[in-house]
Amino acid sequence: DIQMTQSPSTLSASVGDKITITCRASDSTSSWLAWYQQKPGNAPKLLIYEASRLESGVPSRFSGSGAGTDFTLTISSLQPEDVATYYCQQYESYAVFSFGPGTKVDIK
């Protein structure tokens, strides 16, 4: 099974900062990777699919990049409403999906 790791596990930044979250897979997932945002008390929300494609309705300050085993989620200008936990998820191994452990983002 493909295992996913994320770094950092927590991140604190100021409004307007550019932040980057890294996701690493134990084996290649090609570009079959998604990013989700989960705000406290809410269901997750899809942000990015196929590593870099922005889901409809998601602000353009979110972007994704990477392929193979190393991926990043970037927020170009952090906003107060971006306080959330962010998860990556691989779907290359379709018999068994796997999520990363999450990165908690808050405002300094």
Partner 1 sequence: QVQLVESGGGVVRPGGSMSLSCEGSGFTFKNYGIHWVRQAPGKGLEWVAFTRYDGSSKYYADSVKGRFTVSRDNSRNTLYLRMNSLRADDTGFYYCAKDRGIFGVIPTALDVWGKGTPVTVTS
Closest CB to partner 1 among residues 32, 62? 32
Interface residues with partner 1 (CB under 8 A) are 1, 32, 34, 36, 38, 43-46, 49-50, 55, 85, 87, 89, 91, 94-102
**Contacts of residue 18, Cβ cutoff 8 Å, sequence gap at least 6:** 74, 75, 76, 77, 78
**What is the torsional sign of CA 105, 32, 53, 55?**
negative
CB of 67 to partner 1, least distance (A): 16
Contact 34, 86 (CB under 8 A): no
Closest CB to partner 1 among residues 17, 99? 99
Side-chain-side CA neighbours of 8 within 13 Å: the count stands at 9
CB of 84 to partner 1, least distance (A): 13
Closest CB to partner 1 among residues 76, 97? 97
